[in-house]
């Protein structure tokens, strides 16, 4: 009886019952899932933060490299953070940057949605400008996700 149950739920048993078209669609779906999973897993994820402080022309920068920390900014000031990207493969990569959270309204990118050829390097600059209407003593947080999608891009 146990072997009957094992046979009903074994890979060969249910795979053999599928039609050729179903096998092809299932295989294509699995490949697409694995590609999307790889791209999401390979994405660079950075927390982004800036703190609004009182005063005029005051800037305090945190020298960290793991986080896009723009430090303490008073109204009317700005800070720049840079992310270096290297494509050490011969395959071109499409670079896409997505931003989420409260800090994204203040953040500007110098480039986004571009192709990085094999062996090339690029720098993406993130600039945060603290407006005069910024709430004092408030920390604005967010996330930046940098996707590197390999493919036959031109």
> In degrees rounded to 5, what are phi and psi of residue 74?
-90, 160
Residues, the chain: 154
pLDDT band at residue 5, thresholds of 50, 70 and 90?
Answer: low
Tally of CA atoms within 13 A in the half-sphere of 59 that contains its CB: 13
Whether residue 8 is predicted with pLDDT greater than 60 in this model: the reply is no
Tell me which residue of 103, 101, 127, 110 sits closest to 52, measured CA to CA.
103
CATH architecture of 44-150: Sandwich (2.60)
Per-position DSSP letters for 40-72, written without gaps between them: HHH-EEEEEEEEE-SSSS-EE----SSSEEEEE
- The confidence score (pLDDT) of residue 57 equals 66
pLDDT tens for each residue of 88-137: 999 999 999 999 999 998 999 999 999 999 999 999 999 999 988 888 88
Domain ranges of the chain: 2-37, 44-150
Average pLDDT of the chain? 86
């Amino acid at each position: 009886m146990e072997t009957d149950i094992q046979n009903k739920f074994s890979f060969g048993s249910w795979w053999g019952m599928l039609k050729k078209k179903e096998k092809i669609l299932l295989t294509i779906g699995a490949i697409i899932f694995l590609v999307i999973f790889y791209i999401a897993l390979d994405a660079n994820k950075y927390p982004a933060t800036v703190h609004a402080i009182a005063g005029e022309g005051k800037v305090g920068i945190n020298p960290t490299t793991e986080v896009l920390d723009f430090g303490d900014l008073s109204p009317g000031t700005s800070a720049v953070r840079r992310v270096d990207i290297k494509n050490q493969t011969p395959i071109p990569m499409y670079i896409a940057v997505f931003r989420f959270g409260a800090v994204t309204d203040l953040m500007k990118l110098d480039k986004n949605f571009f192709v990085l050829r094999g062996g090339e390097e690029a720098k993406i600059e993130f600039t945060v400008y603290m407006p005069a209407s910024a709430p004092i003593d408030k920390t604005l947080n967010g996330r930046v996700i940098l996707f590197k999608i390999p493919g036959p891009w031109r």
